[in-house]
Amino acid sequence: MISTTLLKLHGKPGEKTYSEVTMVTIKQVSEKAGVSSATVSRVINDTGTVKQKTRELVMQAMAELGYRHNVVAASLASNKTHTIGYVVPELHGSFFGAMMGGTEQALRQAKKHMLIATGHSDAQIEKEQIDALLSRRCDALILHVEAVSDEYLVSLVHQGVDLVVVNRFIEEIGDNCISLDNVKGGYLATRHLLDIGHTQIAYIAGSLFKADGKKRLTGHQQALADMGVEYTDNLTYEGNFQAKSGTEGIRALVARGAKFTAVACANDEMASGAMIALRELGRRMPEDVSVIGFDNVDFASYLSPGLTTIDYPVQKIGSMAAHWVLERVYGHSHHEYQHILSPRLILRGSTSSPE
Amino acid sequence: MISTTLLKLHGKPGEKTYSEVTMVTIKQVSEKAGVSSATVSRVINDTGTVKQKTRELVMQAMAELGYRHNVVAASLASNKTHTIGYVVPELHGSFFGAMMGGTEQALRQAKKHMLIATGHSDAQIEKEQIDALLSRRCDALILHVEAVSDEYLVSLVHQGVDLVVVNRFIEEIGDNCISLDNVKGGYLATRHLLDIGHTQIAYIAGSLFKADGKKRLTGHQQALADMGVEYTDNLTYEGNFQAKSGTEGIRALVARGAKFTAVACANDEMASGAMIALRELGRRMPEDVSVIGFDNVDFASYLSPGLTTIDYPVQKIGSMAAHWVLERVYGHSHHEYQHILSPRLILRGSTSSPE
DNA sequence: AGTTTAAGTGTAAGCGCTTTCATTTTTTAT
DNA sequence: ATAAAAAATGAAAGCGCTTACACTTAAACT
């Protein structure tokens, strides 16, 4: 319906939209340059062999006509879109932005683009979005999905879909997963508290039905065991990863008469909530009680005292995912990646030796 | 090169990638359903008229064959990609995620997708990205670009490119811009301080070569003027929107002997930096000095005291941009949008009447 | 029953590009 | 100079879909 010839343009004059008005084709370029369209394609894609002389001729013609490559047509013909589909739960907050930033940086150099969709932690929506991205023929998918089952993802991989699952580990397709060692993170946090002399350590856990919540707690327990400190449920409170549950956690622990000189939290939000409760109770930090978080979110350093925490290398996870795709899907070599990343301790003012 | 017939498949067995292995076409569906491919297209797109009976036949055939619509081919044929190109300076941080989130929410219902690119506040890169998105034949662009000139954007619009510029106002293409009333924001902040009784108000400005920095300062000055308080350069410090410059700002102001009971900052980062310096100087907040920020970033509420600030409705800007596109490019009506959004005051603990 | 009008389908021509294969031109080796 | 090999190029067949346009069938009027 929309054509190259201006004659066929519809709509009132002055209202021609971009795609209607300019559509110089490879054909026109080839005619102007006196070569075949195949040759023009070759210079555009830098494939095959083209004499320097002809290449210049073509470039000249493209410049003069104001040619713009039509990637859609190229994708159809070549069956490659150079596009990565990306599904994340949400766009707001700093976590996914950082992750996508890591991916984008690696992908930009390779001239790949990202098509972004949100899954809202809803299985139905997640599937629809994956479907839509597949319909758009993305060359690969990067998925941070939370509601969809392991089996579903496994089946996609078995169908031959090139995808990498981030921040989630599925044994059966471990090679397609890139995730953080959460047990180690939990271990590192509590180990730090133990190392500086604490023995009475409360723990505010994340939702235990979530893999991350459970693993971080496991790490906490392992650290205690390693250092010969007995673990007790009395010192543990199960929160839900929200700031408020950190506040409630401290109140609940105090209410049940738990004695502690330090508290480890399964994420920074809960740690900040815990700090609010501790301040209300008149406990100084870190003098009376040390607090450690997990994730190292942006605001951790803005809290006072600055929050000691475990760094979640989220940007790195994003870039690892990109490297996986570059190496596995596009066959670019020299793109190394690991499947399990290690967290590390970030020391700030919220922890110190007990007095 | 890659074809439907399995015969032509290359690569080792078991390594067939998704796109190679499955490619049921509309043709095959049409044969199975005993109709023409035009009819299949009609049911897929819900265009034209199709008898209920045939529609079911086609749906059935699609289900049985596991048909997946090829959006790339459809885009080429229809000259519509249902894709919006999005350029932001960076992906990390919470600002652009919130904005894109606002856009995505509005776009998802309309089944449009976002192709995301980063411009890194570099004119060269910004242009390249815009170019790439145009080559991918995005139906429209949403641009938060900082380095590229007004003229460049104006010329794109004049070329017929459907684009909306966010967080930036360009008179000549005002209809394509969606931005915040920064003057009003600056006004609101200082007006609040004045209203609660302050008269000695320091101002830590953002970079004044940036439009936002300048406008916020203008608002500050207008508020002073409105309330009959004289503006003096001695109480103003030009920062650069970074936290550190807030700290330096306070130090510089104090060093030059400025007297103030409140300080307004051009953004929250600088406000948090200012709070650090004030705390070092032993000034209590808000008792000795009130602090107000601008933007209402995530961590503003985590600071102690909570930071009173001006809300930047970034998510709303994102959704306005989406509505603009939906209305103007896709002709969906009932999508209202405004070009200039109003900021509003967010009261927290960092401001109070002077003692 | 005979027209009109509307509804439902099919035919086929693209959309702008890539890529195989055959052919021509150039280079290198004899 | 000539044969053989390598480098350049062109012709043409798609990629999978949309969409005028023509046509057939069904419904709605006289």
User: What share of chain A has pLDDT > 90, as a percent?
Assistant: 88
pLDDT band, very low/low/confident/very high, at A334 (cuts 50, 70, 90) = confident
pLDDT band, very low/low/confident/very high, at A279 (cuts 50, 70, 90) = very high
Say how far B76 CA is from D23 C1', in Å: 27
Structure tokens, A127: 């599937």
The minimal CB distance from A19 to the residues B73, B79, B243 is found for B79
pLDDT at A178 over 90: yes
- The 10 Å Cβ neighbour count of residue B77 is 12
Q: Is the C-beta atom of B54 closer than 7 angstroms to strand D?
A: no
The minimal CB distance from B161 to the residues A18, A104, A134 is found for A18
For B307, residues 6+ apart whose C-beta sits below 8 A from its C-beta are B268, B271, B272, B275, B291, B292, B293, B300, B301, B348, B350
Helix (DSSP H) and strand (DSSP E) numbers for chain A: 13, 12
Say how far B74 CA is from C20 C1', in Å: 25
Q: Which of B115, B136, B291 to mutate against chain A (most A CBs within 10 Å)? A: B136
Structure tokens, B148: 């590229």
The per-residue pLDDT for range A127-145, each reduced to its tens digit, is: 999 999 999 999 999 999 9
Q: How far is CA A275 from the centre of its chain?
A: 28
pLDDT band, very low/low/confident/very high, at A333 (cuts 50, 70, 90) = confident
User: Across the interface, do A92 and B97 touch by the CB < 8 Å criterion?
Assistant: yes
Residues of chain B with pLDDT under 50: 1-15
What residues form DSSP beta bridges with B164? B142
Q: Is the C-beta atom of A47 closer than 7 angstroms to strand D?
A: no
pLDDT at A21: 54
pLDDT band, very low/low/confident/very high, at A18 (cuts 50, 70, 90) = low
pLDDT at A212 over 90: yes
pLDDT at B23: 87
Q: Is the C-beta atom of B39 closer than 7 angstroms to strand C?
A: yes
Closest CA relative to residue A90, chosen from B155, B103, B324, B117: B103
pLDDT at A1: 27
SS3 call for A353: coil
Say how far A325 CA is from D8 C1', in Å: 34
Averaged pLDDT of chain A: 92
Q: Quick one: closest CA in A to B75, which residue?
A: A72
pLDDT at A16: 52
Contacts of the segment A334-337: beta carbons below 8 A, 24+ positions apart: A337/A178
Q: How far is CA B14 from the centre of its chain?
A: 43
Please list every residue in chain B whose beta carbon sits closer than 8 Å to the beta carbon of residue A1.
78-79
pLDDT at B152: 98
pLDDT at A48: 83
pLDDT at B3: 30
Distance separating alpha carbons of residues B269 and A166, to the nearest angstrom? 31
Averaged pLDDT for residues A108-125: 97
Distance separating alpha carbons of residues A169 and A185, to the nearest angstrom? 15
pLDDT band, very low/low/confident/very high, at A185 (cuts 50, 70, 90) = very high
- Domains for chain A: give ranges and CATH numbers: 6-69 (1.10.260.40), 81-179 (3.40.50.2300), 182-313 (3.40.50.2300)
pLDDT at A128: 97
Alpha helices, H only, chain B = 18-21, 26-33, 37-45, 52-65, 71-78, 95-109, 123-135, 150-158, 182-195, 211-226, 243-255, 268-280, 314-328
